[in-house]
Amino acid sequence: MERYFASLDSERGVLEIAGPERREFLQGLVTNDVTKLAPNRALYAALLTAQGRYLHDFFLAERGDVFLLDGEAARLADLLRRLTIYKLRSKATLTNASEKWRVIVAFGADALAGLDLRGEGAAKDFAGGAGFVDPRLAALGARLILPRAIGTKALEERGFVAAMPSDYDRMRLSLGVPEGGRDLVPEKSLLLESGFDELNAIDWDKGCYIGQELTARTKYRALVRKRLMPVEVTGTLPAAGSSVTWRDEEAGEMRSGRDGIALALLRLDAVDKASAESPLRAGETRLVPKKPDWAKF
């Protein structure tokens, strides 16, 4: 069996969103349709600037009368601050509950079968918390928001073996899936350049949300000229933010990476021009872009 779990204690934090108007409060703010959030369905969504630029992305799960939000630990205070600004008189409460909950990823060929979960976003109660198939891509496995007090016994009893977060990160990179502020630049990045449409973060049929106008215009006018995609790295792994070139032309910028695989935001015309004889480069490092199977460009 291939069943692994990794605790993301230093990387992820959890907000609790409660109150009778919690759903209506979030619905007017985030990119996905919160009316579809249910005990058996989790969501992936983002919060944007008014100009449609990325601020935060996160997962939402429902447990009882509380929404659990799985977000970046290092930026969770900023997300809480921004959401609080919009709360006004809404009957909703926002609490940083990271000391109460922990986020664990379960991955491997048999991970979803081991949790009796099927289908992107499928969710269930698990070990006093919530477990759900990653709403972005089922190949990423499942995410679990569990009480810190219970440990990982429930996973071990199902045949899961402890792994390192780096093992999960390597798989994520190979699939070409971005990870928050490591791969997107707050107040600058566009969701459609980073695959958020294909990764189920945007509901095109819901009502208004912050940044909707520019996001919709970008999609329907086919204005996407760059895409975030995995690149195979031959040579020293370039630092995030390093410039990518084709011949002497600017072609993009590096994002996160490890062990010979990275993500890069690349101009699509440069990707089309690149070849074995004239490859993309970051300094002296050679890059070979790989279009993910799930991507539609």
Strand ranges in the chain using DSSP code E only, listed in sequence order: 4-7, 12-18, 43-48, 54-63, 66-72, 93-96, 101-107, 123-126, 129-133, 142-147, 161-162, 226-234, 243-246, 249-258, 261-267, 280-282, 285-289
Q: What is the pLDDT of residue 222?
A: 81
Query: For residues 111 and 155, is the Cβ–Cβ distance under 8 A?
Result: no
Tokens of 83: 């959401």
Domains in the chain: boundaries:
4-175, 225-297
Residues 159, 172: Cα–Cα separation, whole Å:
22
Q: Which of 168, 191, 155 is nearest to 256 (CA)?
A: 168
pLDDT tier, 1 (very low <50, low <70, confident <90, very high otherwise) = confident
pLDDT, tens digit, 9 for 90 and up, residues 197-211: 999 999 999 989 999
Report the percent of the chain where pLDDT is more than 70.
100
Encoded tokens for 216: 């919709």
Domain 225-297 in CATH: superfamily? Answer: Aminomethyltransferase beta-barrel domains (2.40.30.110)
Among 244, 253, 248, 240, CA closest to 283 = 244
Using 50, 70 and 90 to split pLDDT, how confident is the model at 131?
Answer: very high
CATH topology classification for 4-175: Gyrase A; domain 2 (3.30.1360)
Integer Cα distance of 61 and 193 in angstroms: 26
pTM of the full predicted structure?
A: 0.96
Question: Nearest Cα to 106, choosing from 15, 38, 8, 10?
Answer: 8
pLDDT at 17: 98
Element (H, E) at 76: helix 76-87
pLDDT band at 221; cut points 50, 70, 90: confident
> What digits encode the pLDDT tens for the residues 233-260?
999 999 999 999 999 899 999 999 999 9
Decide the pairing of beta strands 4-7 and 161-162: parallel
Q: What is the mean pLDDT of residues 164-177?
A: 97
Scanning 221-257, the segments in alpha helix (DSSP H) are: none
Tokens of 134: 């990653």
